[in-house]
């Protein structure tokens, strides 16, 4: 698909947030066919969802004194989580993760579902499928055919989950699609397959496609969000330390990549100072830290100035791991704002 080719091409110009091959504890075999994929999920089984409004899960959590609004929300959130299957543990040596692995599921729930999916629980009811996510090595292996097959298998799960959501849960409600990293690879496909220039687009409040470079012209009829209350559009960004660039950065590509400032929700290069950051969420997930870090759109990436008191998250140049946490409250409030604008405009 054109979308896959675009993303994989752009990823070549993105500095890896992950270890190089020698840094992995566990790697899949060279060829995709050398392993049997784990069983496909059955999405009628609620255990195969990391988050559902009908059960208690990590997407219900709120730092500090915040509260979720899922009981009264008029909008749904379909959240696709990033890669947690990174070869950092023994046993992570398959091309695709097994969603029946309880330890792996706990890692997903305690990381991305708690720290990222929860960001949207003030705006809508959160649905987050478990899926046979591709090993992170799928993005960096020299065997691109194997990597593509692993990512395609993962997408088939996400696609099936979205179809199940539409048939059994949606009931014609407006929705937001939100994602990070590998999740954004798959969410982009979802938008192309189900939403872009199709009747379902009328239900799209907005899409937050974070952590992967997205070309501005990826979609026919879904534009880049340029104002805080614009609906039917998509936001995208990937965060780097101020003054730093991806290792294989190419300036000719930067004008093609969509970048939204998650503090001001504009696409211009005006810096947003730290004081405009309504709150970041750090590792303990216990409180909101206001004014932690600023943001500036710069040549296809988002620059974030290092905070006065550095923490381990900011040792490196690539702040990918904090793409959502760093702007948690701004994202949270903006999702609510876009929902309000959508509902008032119906």
Smallest CA-to-CA distance from 127 within 88, 66, 87, 175 is with 175
| Domain chopping of the chain, boundaries | 2-344
The pair phi, psi for residue 253, each rounded to 5°, is -85, -30
Confidence at residue 15, expressed as pLDDT on a 0 to 100 scale: 37
From residue 224, give the alpha-carbon distance in Å to each of 63, 208, 256, 261: 30, 10, 12, 12
Q: Dig out the tokens for 118 from the structure.
A: 């929860």
Smallest CA-to-CA distance from 190 within 151, 169, 157, 162 is with 162
Smallest CA-to-CA distance from 335 within 77, 54, 65 is with 77
CB 262 within 8 A of CB 302: yes
d(CA 285, CA 332): 15
Instruction: Return the residue matching tokens 């090595």.
Output: 137
Smallest CA-to-CA distance from 185 within 3, 334, 33, 32 is with 3
Confidence at residue 21, expressed as pLDDT on a 0 to 100 scale: 43
Confidence at residue 25, expressed as pLDDT on a 0 to 100 scale: 83
Eight-class DSSP state of 304: E
Eight-class DSSP state of 38: P
Smallest CA-to-CA distance from 228 within 183, 278, 181 is with 278
Smallest CA-to-CA distance from 15 within 225, 320, 341 is with 320
d(CA 326, CA 221): 30
pTM tops 0.85 = yes
Instruction: Return the residue matching tokens 């999740």.
Output: 183
Per-residue confidence of the chain (346 residues) as pLDDT tens digits?
Answer: 445 434 434 443 333 333 344 457 899 999 999 999 999 999 999 999 999 999 999 999 999 999 999 999 999 999 999 999 999 888 899 999 999 999 999 999 999 999 999 999 999 999 999 999 999 999 999 999 999 999 999 999 999 999 999 999 999 999 999 999 999 999 999 999 999 999 999 999 999 999 999 999 999 999 999 999 999 999 999 999 999 887 777 777 888 999 999 999 999 999 999 999 999 998 789 999 999 999 999 999 999 987 766 555 555 788 999 999 999 999 999 999 999 999 999 7
DSSP string, 43-60: TTSGGGEEE-TTS--GGG
Burial 11-49 (b: 16+ CB within 10 A, else e): bebbbbbbeeeeebebbbeeebeeeeebeebebeeeebb
Which residues does residue 303 pair with via DSSP β-bridges, in sequence order? 240, 296
The pair phi, psi for residue 21, each rounded to 5°, is -55, -40
Burial 313-343 (b: 16+ CB within 10 A, else e): ebeebbbbbbbbbbbbbbbbebbbbbbbbbe
Contacts of residue 288, defined as CB under 8 A and 6 or more positions apart, other chains included, come to 63, 64, 66, 278, 279, 280, 281, 328, 329
E strand map for the chain: 49-51, 76-80, 125-129, 175-180, 204-210, 233-237, 239-241, 280-281, 288-289, 296-298, 301-304
């Amino acid at each position: 698909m054109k979308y896959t080719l675009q993303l994989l091409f752009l990823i070549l110009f993105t500095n890896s947030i992950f270890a190089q091959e020698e840094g992995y504890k566990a790697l899949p075999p060279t060829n995709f066919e050398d392993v049997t994929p784990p069983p496909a999920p059955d999405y009628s089984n609620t255990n195969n969802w990391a988050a559902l409004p009908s059960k208690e899960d990590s997407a219900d959590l709120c730092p500090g004194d915040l509260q979720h609004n899922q009981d009264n929300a008029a909008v749904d959130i379909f959240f696709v989580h990033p890669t947690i299957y990174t070869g950092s543990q023994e046993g992570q040596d398959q091309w695709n993760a097994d969603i029946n692995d309880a330890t792996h599921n706990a890692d997903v729930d305690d990381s991305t579902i708690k720290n990222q999916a929860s960001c949207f629980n003030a705006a809508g009811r959160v649905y987050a499928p478990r899926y046979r996510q591709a090993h992170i090595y799928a993005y960096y292996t020299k065997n691109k055919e194997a990597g593509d097959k692993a990512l395609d298998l993962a997408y088939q799960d996400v696609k099936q989950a979205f179809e199940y959501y539409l048939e059994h849960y949606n009931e014609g409600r407006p929705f937001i699609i939100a994602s990070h990293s590998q999740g954004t690879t798959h969410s982009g496909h979802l938008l192309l397959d189900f939403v872009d220039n199709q009747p379902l687009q009328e239900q799209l409040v907005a899409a937050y496609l974070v952590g992967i470079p997205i070309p501005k012209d990826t979609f026919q009829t879904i534009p880049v969000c340029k104002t805080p209350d614009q609906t039917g559009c998509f936001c995208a960004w990937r965060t780097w330390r101020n003054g730093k660039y991806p290792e294989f950065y190419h300036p000719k590509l930067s004008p093609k990549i969509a970048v939204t400032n998650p503090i001001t929700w504009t696409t211009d290069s005006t810096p947003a100072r730290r004081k405009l950051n309504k709150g970041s969420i750090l590792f303990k997930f216990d409180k909101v830290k206001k004014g932690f870090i600023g943001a500036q759109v710069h040549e296809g990436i988002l620059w974030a100035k290092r905070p006065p008191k550095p923490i381990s998250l900011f040792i490196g140049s690539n702040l990918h791991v904090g793409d959502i946490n760093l702007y948690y409250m701004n994202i949270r409030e903006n999702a609510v704002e876009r929902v309000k604008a959508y509902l008032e405009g119906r």
